[in-house]
A and B are shown apart, each in its own frame.
Chain A
């Protein structure tokens, strides 16, 4: 059994990744001191620091060293492992802006070992709940914590549990929604894969609170490792008597089963998810009745997202008040975001609610890769909106994002720079929703398709003056009349880009230009004579012979022959091809 863990990560600024070197060096040092059985060295994918050289974290003390050089390693092992004290003279750092509640165990424990989870106070919250609290008290605590659903809409978790508890029924269900489908988001996957027991513990507590006897994990089939880990974790929990009949000697019994999703985005919606677990097509149905009254097989059902459930054990372990101290007035706790796109340090970040977008994008994310200005940040996936640069100082919580025309969503956060065209982005997201529309209700099925046609025509330079108005009108109808969140949310990317980037739409429609240089139909290619070295590479590579000239007189592109294949643009080593 290891008594200590050393996490290693080269956080960059150097040219090559030294993680491996440091890792082997540490192992060597430990081996010479015969300490390899006591100390575990782990190379982690993310340590919460960026551009700080080699970062080393020693657990359980949780001391951090940044910018560690190879010569320091012997001293580090000597002091931390043998003498049990921090290394003097090495730069130590306080934890950055990130707080780890949901990801508390990720990367720190072996996800396939229930012992290690228990070693981190795992299942202690469950013991406390089952032995000391009655279900009403559990819901009371949840109310105090202020935890809201992390799946998108931000509905207070305690209310969901209370409503489901109130309904009298012979059987009730709890479901963990692990059908993470937003493109550009993978928070749930990482929690399921690296800390499956925390989600299971949360689900058992939820079941106890509402009086459910059966629970389901609804997991995407595209996440085979997550499915595997949950399966293993469930078997271990049964073995330890944490699932099954009379859990921990109480008269509470609870079983959990796994159901696989099959690649339908709409199944993230509650009623569609229920239909899918019942073995049917995943189409939503009108609400009310809400699942808390009539859910799975018409029984009261509470559906919670993975991240929501992973918060639950923490609340009962540390107390609702401790949890509620983090965050803002209306949004408590932390949120995990998948920070991706044109940002330098992409990865999962867990931040307290109320942090500004600027802090996330610049302080944690390190700005854009290209060094260009951030143009916008997109949150909430296909149902969310685009937030322009001017609003980067907005504190992130449910209400603020909604005011800006976006949503918290499940946690995708995509950074866009000046090379990204907003019409193209709107088209991309809407295209996704049109593909994924289940086709049950007309506003979503027809409205989405029509809007996509309008956007395509704008991107091709065939847009008409009243197209923005048409887009707004269809959006309004979809928002008001669609059956479920998919249809209601899908106009958001269009509306928010229209609102904040009106002039960019105008450029496309009136001047037939794409300022970001993305919409191929609106671009013309030409050779910048000052940069051209007359190497003739473009000339020989053009598949349609649209480039004429010779090495003495230079070259030019014949626009009437050009098919905009971009071949010349790619092969030119001197960046002498202009796209405008």
Chain B
């Protein structure tokens, strides 16, 4: 019950900030996701009653855009770029290797909740292809053999 109250005040601040601006739904969702890493259902419910927008309208938007997530992300977020340049330079093999090492599928989180694997469109650094980004840190010109080392630095951090 207490958590719900926290949500309410947070949402209220957000709604107050964006209330006067038209087309605010996406921007509010962005702020929620920035804070929580995903859009919790309780928050969406709360938002729906405050904005007087049906919940279906909110979910329609959340599920349309790739950026919004409905479940909590892993502790470390691995994004493998699948832009054309990376694709040509071997991104598919990199993805295969990561999947093998972590036993995780695209868009999923490992069972221990430590890693989340995403395959993304383009990270915008095609000159460095193939590119892997972990928690905002970009690894360029990644070789398949290096993946193990890269990931293990994050595993060590956990221990």
A264–B27 contact, CB under 8 A? no
Number of A-B contacts (CB under 8 A): 106
Q: Which of B61, B82, B120 contacts A279 (CB 8 A)?
A: B61
**Quick one: closest A residue to B93, CB to CB?**
A566
Across-interface contacts of A347 in B (CB, < 8 A): 127
The reply to whether B21 and A340 contact each other, CB–CB distance below 8 Å, is no
Query: How far is B26's CA from A184's CA once the two chains are assembled, in angstroms?
Result: 26
Verify B26–A186 contact, CB threshold 8 A: no
Interface contact B126-A338, CB-CB below 8 Å: yes
Mind listing 14 A-B residue pairs with CB under 8 Å? A184-B83, A184-B85, A184-B122, A186-B125, A223-B124, A259-B23, A259-B27, A280-B61, A281-B61, A282-B64, A338-B126, A341-B85, A378-B84, A428-B84
Which of A184, A429, A432 is within 8 Å of B126, CB to CB?
A: A184
Within 8 A of B (CB), among A379-422: 381, 412, 414, 416, 420
Interface size class of B (residues with CB under 8 A): 20 to 34
Q: Report A504-547 residues with CB < 8 Å from chain B CB.
A: none
Partner of B85, one of A265, A297, A414: A414
- The residues of A that contact B123 with a CB separation of less than 8 Å are 222
Q: Are A281 and B30 in contact (CB under 8 A)?
A: no
Question: Is the Cβ of B26 less than 8 Å from the Cβ of A262?
Answer: yes
Cα–Cα, bound, A181→B123 (Å): 10
Cβ B88 vs Cβ A420 within 8 A:
yes
Binary per-residue interface labels of chain A (546-566) against chain B in the complex, 1 for a CB within 8 Å, 0 otherwise:
000000000000000000000
Q: A340-B84, A378-B84 are in contact. Are A183 and B22 (CB under 8 A)?
A: no
B88 touches which one: A222, A282, A342 (CB < 8 A)?
Answer: A342
Is there a chain A Cβ closer than 8 Å to B24's Cβ?
Answer: yes
How many chain A residues have a CB neighbour from B under 8 Å?
A: 44
Interface residue A70 (Cβ < 8 Å from any Cβ of B) = no
**B127 CB to nearest chain A CB (Å):** 4
Q: Which 5 A-B pairs have the closest CB atoms?
A: A262-B65, A263-B66, A183-B83, A184-B84, A279-B23
Instruction: Give A180 to B122 CA distance when docked, in angstroms.
Output: 10
A183 and B84 in contact, given A257-B21, A338-B126 (Cβ under 8 angstroms): yes
**Given known contacts A184-B122, A186-B125, A265-B121, is B23 in contact with A278 (CB within 8 Å)?**
yes
Is A277 part of the binding interface, using a Cβ–Cβ cutoff of 8 Å?
yes
- What is the 8 Å Cβ interface bit string for chain A, positions 73-100, against chain B (1 contact, 0 not)? 0000000000000000000000000000
B65→A183 contact, CB < 8 A: no
Contact with B along A178-220 (1 / 0, CB 8 A): 0011111110010000000000000000000000000000000
- Interfacial residues of chain B within 28-49, with CB under 8 A of chain A in the complex: 29-30
Given A279-B61, A297-B22, A428-B87, also A186-B66 (CB < 8 A):
no
> Which residue from chain A places its CB closest to the CB of B26 in the assembled complex?
A279
- Of residues 99 through 137 on chain B, the ones whose CB sits less than 8 Å from some CB of chain A are 120-127, 129
- The reply to whether A181 and B85 contact each other, CB–CB distance below 8 Å, is no
Min CB distance A175 to B, Å, is 12
Measured between C-beta atoms, what is the minimum distance from A332 to chain B in Å? 27
Tell me which of B26, B84, B127 contacts A276 (CB under 8 A).
B26
**Residue of A184, A257, A341, A412 with highest tally of chain B CB at under 10 A:** A184
For the complex, what is the distance from the CA of A184 to the CA of B66, rounded to whole Å? Answer: 18
In the complex, residue of chain A having the shortest beta-carbon distance to the beta carbon of B92: A428
* Residue A260 interfacial (CB < 8 Å): yes
A182 touches B66 (CB 8 A): no
Bound-state CA distance A573–B109 (Å) is: 35
What residues of chain B lie closer than 8 Å to A5, measured between beta carbons? none
Partner of B124, one of A222, A278, A281: A222
Q: In the bound complex, how far is the Cα of B85 from the Cα of A297, in angstroms?
A: 38
Instruction: Enumerate chain A residues within 8 angstroms of B144, measured Cβ to Cβ.
Output: 570
Quick check: is B25 within 8 A (CB to CB) of the other chain?
Answer: yes
The CB with the most chain A CB atoms within 10 A, among B21, B67, B120, B126, is that of B126
C-alpha spacing A276/B68, complex, angstroms: 14
Q: Say yes or no for A492: interface residue by CB 8 A criterion.
A: no
